[in-house]
């Protein structure tokens, strides 16, 4: 979605500030990507000259420079970002247009660099010579393309081995995320997560995220191997204070529960086609023992599960309609 960069006419020292939307810089339709492998890269000197042309008194020259930079690829992002911070509003406005075009039409690497540049411009804690007008314009670009940014962040998380889910209904069943639903759960697994600390930027971009599951394996008394460090988790919570972070083991049972007076954990949900359901456990069963240990509450059950790996077979005891039942559960992995 392309919008007008400025809604009001602003006078600079020698000409009117450009109000042309990015889409009008090209004949219909605009190119699918803003760079091609067979196009020679712009040199530093060419980029410098083109940025100078953004403030040319000649409109045609300004337009030509804008178009050339917008199809210049990743190596123009940093110089254009610097230009966006200038006190010359015409140059800054066109720089935001260029970053917007690279964000929307660039190859994935270039698009991400342009997005990061726009996010820097949109940061209201920073001060630029171009002032708050450019901050608002960068914010508008990001807001109008929120779903695109979210989809790209989710795709990156999946490529790195993360699992993205959302909850649907009251049965606790986990479903795949869709475009129109906010992701409620991102799961970082020990077995699959290949990301580094810097890759957690993709999670931090999920403004609608509600819950983060971080997998860790208990290897001793209160000793764990974590999918990501506790410091990384703290950074995510700082960026997304609304997110509820839950630590889970590598194995998945597929239940939620509440503690009852006395002992036991009543299963408030049993997810269909998951380990507990396959073993025969049902909603409202009172789970009393798991792996030979008494179960007093759901938190204790989570810790007991966390000591095991997918594929482990676990004995469990539950009370149903005043009848004690024995179960053999084959734990599964997160998926």
Q: Tens digits of per-residue pLDDT, 174-208?
A: 455 455 677 778 888 887 899 999 999 999 989 88
- Condensed to tens digits (0 to 9), the pLDDT of residues 146-170 reads 888 888 899 899 999 999 887 654 3
Tell me the CATH number for domain 252-333.
2.30.42.10
Q: Can you give the pLDDT at residue 26?
A: 44
Each residue's pLDDT, cut to its tens digit, for the chain (335 residues) gives: 333 333 332 323 333 334 444 444 444 455 545 666 556 788 999 999 999 999 999 999 999 999 999 988 889 999 999 999 987 899 999 999 999 999 999 888 889 899 999 999 998 888 888 778 899 999 999 999 988 888 889 989 999 999 988 765 434 444 554 556 777 788 888 878 999 999 999 999 898 898 999 998 877 777 788 999 999 999 999 999 999 998 988 999 999 888 777 778 999 999 888 999 999 999 999 999 999 999 988 888 988 998 899 999 999 999 999 999 999 999 999 88
Q: Can you give the pLDDT at residue 315?
A: 97
Q: Where are the domains of the chain?
A: 22-144, 152-248, 252-333
Q: Can you give the pLDDT at residue 171?
A: 41
Please state the pTM of the whole predicted model.
0.73
Whole-number Å distance between alpha carbons of 53 and 60? 10
- Condensed to tens digits (0 to 9), the pLDDT of residues 81-112 reads 999 998 789 999 999 999 999 999 988 888 98
The fold for domain 22-144 equals: 1.25.10
Structure tokens at 55: 């403030």
């Amino acid at each position: 979605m392309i919008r007008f960069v400025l809604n009001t006419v602003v006078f600079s020292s020698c000409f009117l500030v450009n109000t042309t939307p990015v889409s009008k810089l090209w004949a219909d339709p605009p190119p699918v990507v803003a760079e091609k492998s067979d196009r020679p890269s712009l040199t530093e000197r060419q980029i410098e000259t083109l940025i100078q042309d953004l403030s040319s008194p000649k409109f045609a020259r300004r337009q030509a420079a804008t178009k050339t930079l917008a199809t210049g690829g990743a190596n123009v992002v940093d110089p254009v970002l610097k230009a966006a911070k200038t006190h010359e509003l015409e140059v800054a406005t066109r720089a935001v247009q260029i970053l917007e075009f690279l964000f929307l039409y660039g190859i994935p690497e270039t698009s991400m660099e342009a997005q990061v540049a726009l996010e820097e411009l949109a940061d209201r804690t920073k001060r630029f010579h171009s002032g708050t007008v450019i901050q608002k314009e960068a914010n508008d670009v990001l807001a109008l393309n929120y779903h695109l940014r979210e989809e790209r962040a989710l795709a990156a998380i999946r490529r790195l081995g993360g699992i993205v889910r959302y909850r649907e209904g009251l049965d606790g069943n986990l479903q795949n995320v869709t475009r129109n639903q906010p992701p409620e759960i991102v799961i970082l697994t020990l077995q699959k997560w290949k990301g580094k600390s810097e890759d957690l930027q993709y999670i931090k971009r999920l403004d609608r995220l509600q819950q983060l599951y971080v997998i860790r394996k208990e290897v001793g008394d209160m000793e764990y191997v974590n999918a990501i460090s506790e410091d990384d988790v703290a950074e995510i919570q700082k960026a997304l204070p609304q997110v509820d972070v839950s630590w889970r083991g590598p194995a998945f049972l597929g239940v939620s529960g509440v503690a009852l007076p006395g002992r036991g954990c009543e299963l408030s949900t049993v997810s269909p086609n998951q380990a507990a359901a396959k073993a025969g456990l049902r909603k409202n069963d009172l789970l009393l023992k798991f792996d030979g240990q008494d179960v007093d509450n759901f938190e204790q059950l989570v810790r007991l599960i966390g000591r095991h790996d997918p594929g482990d077979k676990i004995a469990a005891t539950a009370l149903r309609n005043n009848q004690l039942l024995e179960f053999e559960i084959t734990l599964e992995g997160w998926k």
